Amino acid sequence: MMAVARRTLFRGWVLLAYMVIFAPVVMIVTISFFQQEIVSFPPDGLTLRWYWNAWQRPEFARGFVSSLQIAALATLIGVPIGTAAALALVRSPLPGRGAFNSLLLGPLAVPGVVCGAALYMFYVRAENFLDQDITATLGGLIAAHTLLTIPWTVRLVAASLQGLDRAAEEAAANLGARPFTVFRRITLPMMRPGIVAASMFSFIQSFENLDLTMLLVGPGRSTLPVAMLSYLEFRIDPTLAAVATVQILLVGILMAVTDRFVKLSRVI
Partner 1 sequence: MAVLIVPASLLVLGLLVAPMLLMLRISLNQFSPTQMMIEAMSADNYIRAVTDPYYQQVLGTTLGIALLCTLLTLILGFPAAYWLARIESRWKSLITILTLFPLLVGNVVRSAGWMALLGNDGLINATLLWLGIISAPLKLMYTPQAVVIGIIAVVLPYMILTLASVIESIPRSVEEAAANLGARPGTVFRRVVLPLALPGVAAGSILVFVLCMNTYATAILLGGPQFKMMAPAVYDQFIRANNWPFGATLAFILLAITMIFTIVGSIGIARRYKR
Judged by CB under 8 A, the chain residues 2 through 61 that form the site for partner 1 are: 3, 6, 10, 13-14, 16-18, 20-28, 31, 38-42
Residue 78 neighbours by CB under 8 Å, 6+ apart: 145, 146, 147, 148, 149, 150, 153, 202
Among 68, 69, 211, 261, binds partner 1 (CB under 8 A): 211
By CB under 8 A, name the one of 70, 150, 158, 161 that touches partner 1: 150
Is residue 71 near partner 1 by the rule CB under 8 A? no
Q: Smaller CB distance to partner 1: residue 42 or 58?
A: 42
Shortest spacing between CB 147 and partner 1, in angstroms: 5
Q: Is 121 in the site for partner 1 (CB under 8 A)?
A: yes
In the complex, least distance from residue 45 CB atom to partner 1, rounded to whole angstroms: 16
Alpha-carbon distance of 110 to 208, in angstroms, equals: 17
**Which of 120, 186, 193, 206 is in the footprint of partner 1 by CB under 8 A?**
120
**Which of 39, 61 has the CB closer to partner 1?**
39
The only residue of 70, 186, 195, 214 in contact with partner 1, by rule CB under 8 A: 214
Q: Does 92 sit near partner 1 (CB under 8 A)?
A: yes
From 171, 253, 255, 257, residue interacting with partner 1 (rule: CB under 8 A): 255
Residue of 100, 197, 205 lying closest to 145 (CA atoms) = 205
Kindly report the backbone phi and psi dihedral angles of residue 46, in degrees, each rounded to the nearest multiple of 5, phi listed first.
Answer: -120, 145
